[in-house]
A and B are shown apart, each in its own frame.
Chain A
Amino acid sequence: MKYELKPWLPVLILIVLLVLFSLFFQDIKFKIYDLLGISDAWETRYSLAKLIGQHIVIVFYSGAISIVIGVILGALSLSERFKEIRILIEKAVYLFQMIPSLALLTILVPIFGMGQKTAVVALVVCGVLPVYMGVVAGVNGVPSDVIEVAEGLGMPKLRIYRQIVLPLAMPVILAGFRTSLIINVSAATLAAKIGAGGLGILLLNALKTGKTMTIIEGTIPICLLAIIFDICLKNIENIFYVERKSSN
């Protein structure tokens, strides 16, 4: 089967946009300030590229850990052996999701200290639920008659999971990953509050100085990042659908 590269074109364009933005936006901003005669004395010069890099790193770690934990919890609550504690796992995951991220950060700082590590822990707590839900909904969504027939035809359990359940649940599981990552991209702005860096620094700064340009400077890359992650994962999801549709 020939794989289409076309769906990845928007990703490329968006990455180029992001790079251009991080290279040139500050110069443009200061030019505008000069033009309007606004003092930029309070304006600190940040390397936008570095902030974006920090942001991505935080999202990457928290996303990866969320996925691992979410998948493990999902698998546990689906397995026969842990059926009794399924409700416990579920409630715990939901409960953690309900804690506001800001409150979570404040709770975690005394335990883990300031910095990136704490931010990642907080984001993982936020990011686990969508992953968990994706796994559970995906696996439960596999038609039971399909599984019954697979069993009835004498497929071993493990093979049923590998060849039937997993491929059929995959699109929903990946949708969970996607939701989790996107939540993390925006929630990662709060990381700045505890000295973990990232694009949130710009937003916090803008809150203090009241400068609209700085807000724009922080928000646009965050949105671009979210969209890039979204399209990437959507494309991966589609691979699983395309396989089922192509008939020739």
Chain B
Amino acid sequence: MSARQHHKWIAPKRLGYAEISAAVSDPIQRGGPGRAWFIALLGILPLVLATFIAVGAVLTVGIGLSGVNTTVVWGFSIANYVWWIGIGNAGTLISSMLLLTRQGWRASINRFAEAMTLFAAAIAGIFPVIHLGRPLYAYWLAPYPNTMELWPQWRSALVWDFWAIASYILFSLIFWFTGLLPDLATMRDRAQTRTGQVVYGALALGWRGSARHWAVYETFHKTMAALAVPLVCSVHSIVGLDFAASLMPGWQESIFPPYFVVGAMYSGFAMVVMLAIVIRWGLSLQSMITPAHFDAMAKVMLFASIVMTFSYATEWFMAWYGGEHADRTVIGYFFTGDYRWLYFSLLFCNCLVPQLLWFRAVRLNLWLLAAIAIVINLGMWLERILIVWNTLSHGYAISLWRTYHVSLYDVVILIAPLGLFVLGFLVLARILPIVSMHEVRQLAHREGAAA
């Protein structure tokens, strides 16, 4: 916090309620998209197109397009799935945990963190389907009366994933829309065109901001937050169980579910920091997203980095202490095997680099913070692909040991969906308030900035 700043979470000395509404809604209702927006859109359109081509290709040709083989039967699809769902988990987790712990500063970041959840979880949902091998039968995962008299196999991790992702996306949508409702009323009341009035009016459902509305709203919103925390933990625990419920060395570990949850929070916070930096610049929200916000988020990343490091160490220790030969061999393979350089990069990205966040100067330098956030997300993706590769390449049967060879399709489905994610935000930023106006008003009132 600079000496010039008067309030911790609100940058200017005075930020009235009208200014808050204007700062958030005017870029949508009164300003055009601007040049940066069009450049970004043009830049990501090829990626969006590539995503559709890659998905179309795998649906037509089959998963032979990917580098999987008879030993390493999982590949980029699974790693990408875990990575995206991890990012997707963090938005709702951050938003709800900060609400329950009464961290008023969440007001500036919760809306786009929740939107991040929706987009990331939706993208994550693509991967298990395109990796099914027979994606046309994906609907067999749902229990429905059918003439074949078939039922889902409830003991299968795939079925757990289906319910976890479906429930989580729909839950996050309701949580996000509830928080959006009062802001949609603001948008309705500020709309200057007939279309704007009708569309925002219909979406706002007639919200009047009555004291009774607020009382019910707050009860529901807090209850949702209280449900969201265990839901998020259970969703990513189920992702961890996809591995832990198997019989493979290096996967069958009881630490996997919590270790996956922390990993999700870690990469998710890194993604929120990235988004906050870009959105703050793109929409000129310096008054509401302050250095103190970045300081707080950087501290959470640092904490998560330490917990991740501790989890890796626990994994190594338990393999040694457990004494199982295959487990010990797999850990040895981490450090000396075919993927060792990737493993060293993972440790560098996830454990070493974030230690820079101990320094206040680093936490307040947005360029460094953005670089660290990218490095963390890279490291977390490496972690997920290595969980898949190391164990599958080095299982119990020595005659089956093989390595993975990356194909062009793999590279495309790794990079191209990022375009889809950015497209989601570009569209969202043009139609809906990207910062929660009513919560920032409340924050400004509490901080004494609105008076």
**Do A and B actually bind?**
no
